[in-house]
């Protein structure tokens, strides 16, 4: 069926509401129509994600129900799956609550038990709920840190992690085989007796698990009169849990950005509700200067990512990148365990291949095994699951450069709630040493060497966006670069073919990781560049991981590699 035929079918389909049809009748641009109806959303590293609107490639009640039908059929094929049920959560974005209820209707129509969140809550609480209730799966309606016009659908499996590749492929295959209207139960077919609404007992159980991950429970109370923290959820879900949690941990001088505490899917006070951007801290910085705080924390709308700013020695606020915060937390956690003599047996940490190599040096120094995995927190969750299944290893920390962290095994997704708690605890510890987190970061560089990172994207929007991304990656494979600027490439890794090539030695070996459309280059002077198409947005991302024994050298290497890649990729 062509995109035009699909468009016409939506206009005449009896089950489609009038508002949707009115939206479609207003579509006059042919490229817009084609983008809406040239296929269905597919599961990427973060599940489904698209602009809200009418069409098979958009987020709406019909595509949400269609995706849920695919998941429902996989659950029905799993022994005991229907009885174990599915937990469903949602964030503050437009239509999130409606999408969550529609998913519950589809599942219950299939005789599948549903635990539906009564109010919006953070993504990690959904991951916890899957494990807490013993569910077979979970669904969270969210588009994480994307702009306001987006929404999305994250699917989880029984371990609390996002769908692994084989399950995601199975769901996608089922979705492709069923009709979006004829094969999906109508709302009237829902079985309300199978839908249980969650209550505050779930929140309490979750917060107790998070509090158990403190490394030093006395750190925050010790400096309760001196430590002031400013927090903002950026109009998202973090405000439902984090202020309460921090107060439970003993923080008395907590200041919230009230203008951003109210959930609002339009995100009226920020252009992008993303704590990776300094612009997200404008209101928080103003409050911090008024109350004398040296720490500002922001979480994204679904509270799985967290960013922070801290004062430097000159009293100016500086952003701490995701790479830097991961290293700070890793060093703090390992030092604290060693000082207390409580380092667990066989400690290990997990990071993604595009996350700073500073963590490698930290782990080598502390005798912690470090695993490198593909981009996507589900791969970190898989390492945790494998260790639990095999009965060995103690998980210390999982993290990625894109501001995601997890300590503890109560969940299997990045958790800005526990990260906020640990960042606050860490700040309290350094407060006793008359240091801020910026001071601690400088201390880290002086100990391990300097590491600087840059991340940039090449946007490829439009109907031919995917073709452009495919062409760029194909060109790099067919004509692999030998230099990045003036730096010779010594190792090239192609995770799609699973091969690692040592250019100098002229040998090849396996990467040891699952197949993924990622190219990674290592230079002779220990700099790393990775290129990968985004799994949720029409862009190719480039990661530069640079190193140097001096700060100026690391910065120079980062800038040179980034500039060279911008030139190479056009």
Catalytic residue set: 144
Q: Could you give the CA distance from residue 523 to residue 361 in angstroms, rounded to a whole number?
A: 18
CB neighbours (10 Å) of residue 467?
A: 11
Q: Provide the strand spans (E) within 182-266.
A: 195-197, 228-232, 253-256
Q: Are 432 and 234 in contact (CB under 8 A)?
A: no
Terminal CA-to-CA distance of the chain, rounded, Å?
Answer: 36
Q: Which helix (H) or strand (E) holds 437?
A: helix 437-448
The residue count for the chain = 570
What are the φ/ψ torsions at residue 6 (nearest 5 degrees)? -65, -40
Q: Could you give the CA distance from residue 150 to residue 541 in angstroms, rounded to a whole number?
A: 19
Burial of 318 (0-12, 13-18, 19+ CB in 10 A): middle
Q: Could you give the CA distance from residue 525 to residue 442 in angstroms, rounded to a whole number?
A: 22
Q: Which helix (H) or strand (E) holds 187?
A: none
Please choose, from the candidates 273, 276, 190, 215, the residue with its C-alpha nearest in 3D space to the C-alpha of residue 239.
273
If you search the block for the tokens 């300094």, which residue do you land on? 278
Q: Could you give the CA distance from residue 502 to residue 280 in angstroms, rounded to a whole number?
A: 42
Beta bridge partner(s), residue 502: 491, 507
Q: Are 329 and 399 in contact (CB under 8 A)?
A: yes
C-beta contacts of 175-178 below 8 A and 24+ residues apart = 175/40, 175/66, 175/67, 175/69, 175/70, 176/40, 178/66, 178/69, 178/70, 178/73
Q: Could you give the CA distance from residue 13 to residue 21 in angstroms, rounded to a whole number?
A: 9
Q: Could you give the CA distance from residue 519 to residue 522 in angstroms, rounded to a whole number?
A: 10
Q: Provide the strand spans (E) within 242-367.
A: 253-256, 295-299, 306-311, 317-320, 347-352
**Which residues contact residue 500 at a Cβ distance below 8 angstroms, ignoring those fewer than 6 apart?**
491, 492, 493, 494, 508, 509, 510, 511
Please choose, from the candidates 124, 42, 134, 120, the residue with its C-alpha nearest in 3D space to the C-alpha of residue 81.
134
3-state helix, strand, coil in the chain (%, to 5): 40, 20, 35
């Amino acid at each position: 069926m062509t995109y035009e035929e699909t468009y016409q079918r939506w206009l005449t389909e009896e089950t489609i509401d009038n508002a949707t049809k009115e939206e479609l009748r207003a579509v006059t641009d042919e490229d817009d129509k084609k983008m809406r109806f040239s296929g269905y959303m597919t599961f990427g590293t973060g599940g489904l994600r698209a602009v809200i609107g009418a069409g098979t490639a958009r987020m709406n009640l019909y595509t949400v129900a269609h995706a849920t039908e695919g998941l429902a059929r996989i659950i029905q094929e799993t022994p005991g799956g229907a009885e174990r049920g599915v937990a469903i959560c949602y964030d503050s974005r437009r239509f999130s609550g409606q999408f969550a209820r529609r998913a519950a209707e589809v599942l219950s129509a299939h005789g599948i038990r549903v635990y539906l969140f009564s109010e919006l809550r953070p993504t990690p609480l959904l991951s916890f709920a899957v494990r807490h209730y013993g569910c077979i799966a979970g669904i969270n309606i969210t588009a994480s840190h994307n702009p306001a016009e987006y929404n999305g659908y994250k699917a989880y499996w029984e371990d609390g992690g996002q769908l692994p590749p084989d399950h995601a492929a199975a769901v996608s295959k089922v979705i492709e085989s069923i009709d979006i209207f004829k094969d999906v139960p109508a709302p009237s077919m829902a079985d309300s007796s199978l839908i249980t609404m969650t209550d505050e007992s779930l929140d309490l159980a979750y917060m107790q698990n998070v509090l158990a991950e403190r490394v030093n429970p006395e750190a925050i109370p010790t400096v309760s009169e001196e430590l002031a923290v400013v927090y903002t959820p950026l109009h998202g879900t973090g405000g439902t849990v984090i202020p309460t949690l921090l107060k439970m941990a003993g923080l008395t001088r907590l200041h919230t950005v009230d203008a951003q505490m109210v959930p609002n899917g339009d995100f009226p006070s920020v252009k992008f509700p993303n704590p990776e951007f300094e612009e997200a801290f404008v209101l928080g910085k103003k409050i911090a200067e008024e109350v004398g705080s040296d720490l500002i924390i922001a979480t994204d709308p679904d509270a799985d990512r967290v960013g922070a700013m801290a004062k430097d020695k000159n009293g100016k606020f500086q952003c701490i990148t995701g790479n830097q915060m991961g290293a700070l937390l890793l060093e703090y956690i390992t030092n604290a365990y060693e000082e207390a003599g409580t380092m667990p047996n066989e400690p290990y940490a997990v990071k993604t291949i595009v996350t700073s190599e500073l963590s490698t040096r930290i782990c080598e120094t502390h005798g912690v095994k470090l695993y490198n995995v593909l981009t996507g927190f589900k791969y970190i969750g898989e390492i945790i699951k494998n260790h639990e299944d095999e009965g060995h290893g103690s998980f210390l920390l999982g993290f990625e450069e894109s501001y995601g962290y997890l300590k503890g095994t109560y969940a299997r997704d990045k958790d800005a709630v526990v990260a906020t708690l640990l960042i606050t605890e860490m700040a309290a510890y350094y407060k006793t040493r008359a240091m801020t987190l910026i001071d601690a970061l400088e201390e880290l560089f002086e100990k391990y060497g300097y590491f600087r990172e840059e991340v940039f994207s090449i946007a490829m929007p439009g109907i031919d966006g995917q073709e452009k991304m495919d062409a760029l990656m194909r060109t790099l494979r067919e004509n692999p670069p030998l230099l990045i600027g003036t730096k010779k490439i010594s190792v090239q890794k192609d995770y799609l073919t699973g091969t690692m090539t040592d250019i100098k030695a002229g040998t090849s070996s396996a990467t040891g990781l699952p197949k993924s459309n990622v190219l990674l280059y290592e230079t002779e002077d220990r700099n790393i560049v990775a290129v990968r198409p985004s799994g949720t947005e029409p862009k190719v991302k480039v990661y530069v991981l640079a190193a140097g024994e001096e700060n100026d050298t690391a910065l120079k290497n980062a800038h040179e590699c980034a500039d060279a890649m911008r030139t190479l990729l056009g």
